[in-house]
Amino acid sequence: MLEELKRNSNWEEYINHKFLQMMAENSLSRSVFRYYLIQDAKYVEEMLRALFRASALAPLEDAINILTQILLTRDKGLETNQYLYKSLGITKEEIMKSKMNDVNYAYTRHLNYWAERSWEKFLIAWTPCMVGYYEASKRIEGKVKDELYKAWVSFYASNEYKKRVDAIVSSLEKVNVDFDEALEIFNRSVNYEIAFWDEALKQGI
């Protein structure tokens, strides 16, 4: 199902976004990246809450497998974020006080909406975030020279992160949802991902 969803969505626009190209070309400003990281921190908190809520509706084996991979690789993700936050002077207090932008708010409401209704549909809504970051990072891995951006790319292109992706894709391939409905949910998430980076780039204007 995943490959068909990708082919019929704005997937290529997403994983080849200007934000990523600028990162690979070492032209992405620190202010843009800093803004992105703060919004991403707020997104991840809401995304994890939605995941835990949706997991109560999931087949037990799938829920255990995915949550295990998320928790087993969490330390690496935290280590990367702590390095980035320290380098850019981002504090927990600043993250807490910062407001979600409209795209972030809409995207996390989208995830929470499906988390309360259907494991399968939540999984479809969540997959673009998790799989897309892996694929996008693999495309620019090796091109990035800036140490901060290299750390970010290295985490999402890592084998540890891929374990999360593999668990999610394995569960996704079992879902039985009308394709047109699945595509609508999937592409809405893809478009939110595109808009998420668009919003960050606006900070550099």
**CATH number of the domain where residue 164 is located:** 1.20.910.10
Whether the Cβ atoms of residue 24 and residue 41 lie closer than 8 Å to each other: no
Note the pLDDT of residue 72. Answer: 86
pLDDT > 90: what percent of the chain? Answer: 95
Q: What digits encode the pLDDT tens for the residues 140-155?
A: 999 999 999 999 999 9
Q: What digits encode the pLDDT tens for the residues 90-120?
A: 999 999 999 999 999 999 999 999 999 999 9
Note the pLDDT of residue 205. Answer: 58
Please check the confidence at residue 84 and state whether its pLDDT lies above 70: yes
Supply the mean pLDDT for the chain: 96
Concatenating the DSSP letter of every residue in 2-50 gives HHHHHHTTTHHHHHT-HHHHHHHTT---HHHHHHHHHHHHHHHHHHHHH
Q: What digits encode the pLDDT tens for the residues 9-55?
A: 999 999 999 999 999 999 999 999 999 999 999 999 999 999 999 99
Average pLDDT of 163-187?
Answer: 96
> Which range marks the domain in which residue 84 is found?
2-202
Q: Could you give the CA distance from residue 33 to residue 102 in angstroms, rounded to a whole number?
A: 18
Please check the confidence at residue 204 and state whether its pLDDT lies above 70: no
Comparing C-alpha atoms, which of 35, 80, 71, 77 is closest to residue 51?
Answer: 71
Please check the confidence at residue 169 and state whether its pLDDT lies above 80: yes
Structurally, how many domains does the chain consist of? 1
